[in-house]
Amino acid sequence: MPRRTMQGVVVSDKMDKTVIVKVERKIKHPLYKKYIRRSKKYAAHDENNVVKNGDIVKIRECRPLSKRKTWEVITESA
């Protein structure tokens, strides 16, 4: 089964080997037919501590690394 990937913005890099990524998506309101922005924050594993606040990154689903961390940052060089 393929792993899910998402794109978002890093909002916190204060932890060691972990970043918080905010992913936004647009949904259509069922009654008013307008598009609404919804966002969610994911804890992602960053092995080498290379990404910083404000970076646009891609994250990929992986095995559980801790209680909340089941995503990893995809590096462009790999």
pTM of the model: 0.88
Task: For 64-78, write each residue's pLDDT tens digit.
Answer: 999 999 999 997 654
Domain limits, the chain: 5-74
CA distance 12 to 34: 30
Would residue 9 be called left, alpha or beta, if left means φ above 0 and alpha means ψ between -120 and 50 degrees? beta
Task: For 21-30, write each residue's pLDDT tens digit.
Answer: 999 999 999 9
Residue 60 φ/ψ, nearest 5 degrees: -130, 145
Q: Which CATH superfamily is domain 5-74 in?
A: Nucleic acid-binding proteins (2.40.50.140)
Q: Which residue has the tokens 């393929």?
A: 2
Where residue 63 falls among pLDDT bands split at 50, 70, 90? very high
CB count in 10 Å sphere of residue 51: 17
Q: What DSSP designation does 9 have?
A: E
Tell me, what's the pLDDT at 21? 97
